[in-house]
Structure 1
């Protein structure tokens, strides 16, 4: 079997930095080396290890050769696996499973970024996501972490975020002008729905619950079609909808609190680390 030279991960790290930053100078700062040291590394990579150029040089500008493009894909994969190995062997306790519960509301808005960043750091941890309304999640005792919406003054656990509930409808439609007002809301036992109905009752505005669903995506699909108005947390309103309010004859809505509840019987370094990622993700 032919013996091939090995590729030092530090050479690959510097190579990727040059590709990402477009030059040796900024890459040198990124990898905390002098520019001459970076140049020597790339000379070694090209002449001693690969025996072919990976950069085309034009003054201070560098571009990847076709071979360099191929190497870049492999280099990113190798460095990713290298990091996973070190995380696993240096922190063996960061292997396991964690169960989190969240209302459907937050899955598309917050969880993708949170879980992506968590997986990059701890790729061997299995995450189970259970989507149910807040009142149902609070009755469960088998979840490690639970994200729920609470009324102001009734917060429990760690406060993640506070924001207004707002009215919204599709751009180019005016269902708020209909009598009675058509609403698209979550199913029963949703305090957001209760607030909306109570506020409309207080101002003696006629309304009807035209569409209900346990799924935020389904509610937003109805609203996007111009069929109804909804009331949701402001951060959940997509860009193709417009926020409406008192100018359209609708009552002002209160603030809501998003909180994180830890299960005291299932705390571990794994759950606490994910809790930190969740708290950071809801601040963005």
Structure 2
């Protein structure tokens, strides 16, 4: 059987850093190596180990060749498996189930990154995600962690971030031509809807709830089609929409607190590990 040279995982880590950062210098900062050390690593990888050109230099930018793109896919998979092995064997107790609750608002914006990073570190932990309104989540006793939106002065749990609510509509939408103003909002038990309606009432602007849903994606689809205005957290507004304000005759909306609530009756190491990932994820 033929013997192939091995590739050290640290070399693969440096290679992935170069691909992600687009240069040797920034990659060196990421892996804590000098630019010359990074260059030497890659030279040995190209000339001695693989005998293939992996990079194309374009000024200060570095791009991958076709062979480099192939290696990148394998490198990411190898590093992922390497991390899983160590996390699984070093922390064998990290096996179990965590139940988390969150409003639909945060599922697409925050959870994918949080859960993918958590799964990389703790691949044997099963996670159940329950999507309900903040009011409903706070009434449940079977969840280990809940992410909820709270009014100022009614915070409970640990603060993840503060965010302002904003009005948003499609680029082509003209509020002054749509009277009464059509709104696309969450169901009636959402206090954000109450905030929006109270703000419009305060300035005497006529409106109607034209679209009502418990799904953020459904609301955003309606708004993107130019059929209504919505009021949502600023971080949830997609690039195809524009934020509206006083120039369009709409009132300013208050700031909300996004909180992480732990179930004190079911504490566990795996729950706390996921809580730490959630806290970091909401900083991004």
Asked if Structure 1 and Structure 2 have the same fold, meaning a TM-score greater than 0.5 normalized by the shorter chain, the answer is yes
Alpha-carbon distance between aligned partners in 2 of 1:94 and 1:192, rounded to the nearest angstrom: 37
**TM-aligned CA deviation for residue 118 of structure 1:** 1.6
1:17 is aligned to 14
**TM-aligned CA deviation for residue 92 of structure 1:** 1.1
Q: After alignment, is 113-122 or 180-189 more displaced?
A: 113-122
Q: Secondary structure of 1:283's match?
A: coil
* Cα 1:180–1:43 shift into 2, 3 Å: closer
Task: Give the 5 Å matches for 1:187-198.
Answer: 187-198=187-198
Verify: 1:251 aligned to 2:251, yes or no: yes
Tell whether the 8 Å contact from 2:101 to 2:147 is kept in structure 1 after alignment.
yes
1:281 is aligned to 281
2:185 is aligned to 185
Please give the TM-score of this superposition, normalised by the length of structure 1.
Answer: 0.83
**TM-aligned CA deviation for residue 250 of structure 1:** 1.9
Verify: 1:96 aligned to 2:93, yes or no: no
Please give the TM-score of this superposition, normalised by the length of structure 2.
Answer: 0.83
Alpha-carbon distance between aligned partners in 2 of 1:58 and 1:192, rounded to the nearest angstrom: 51
Tell whether the 8 Å contact from 2:186 to 2:193 is kept in structure 1 after alignment.
yes
Q: After alignment, is 205-214 or 174-183 more displaced?
A: 174-183
Q: What are structure 1's unaligned runs of at least 5 residues?
A: none
1:214 is aligned to 214
**TM-aligned CA deviation for residue 54 of structure 1:** 3.7
Alpha-carbon distance between aligned partners in 2 of 1:182 and 1:37, rounded to the nearest angstrom: 57
1:223 is aligned to 223
Alpha-carbon distance between aligned partners in 2 of 1:58 and 1:236, rounded to the nearest angstrom: 38
Cα displacement string for residues 118-171 of structure 1 (whole angstroms, at most 9, x for unaligned residues) = 222222222211111111111111111100111110000001111111111110
Larger gyration radius, structure 1 or structure 2: 1
2:262 is aligned to 262
Paired residue total: 277
C-alpha root-mean-square deviation of aligned residues, in Å?
Answer: 3.3
Q: What are structure 2's unaligned runs of at least 5 residues?
A: none
Q: Secondary structure of 1:116's match?
A: helix
Alpha-carbon distance between aligned partners in 2 of 1:57 and 1:207, rounded to the nearest angstrom: 58
* Cα 1:194–1:43 shift into 2, 3 Å: closer
**TM-aligned CA deviation for residue 44 of structure 1:** 9.3
Tell whether the 8 Å contact from 2:11 to 2:41 is kept in structure 1 after alignment.
no
Alpha-carbon distance between aligned partners in 1 of 2:159 and 2:56, rounded to the nearest angstrom: 53
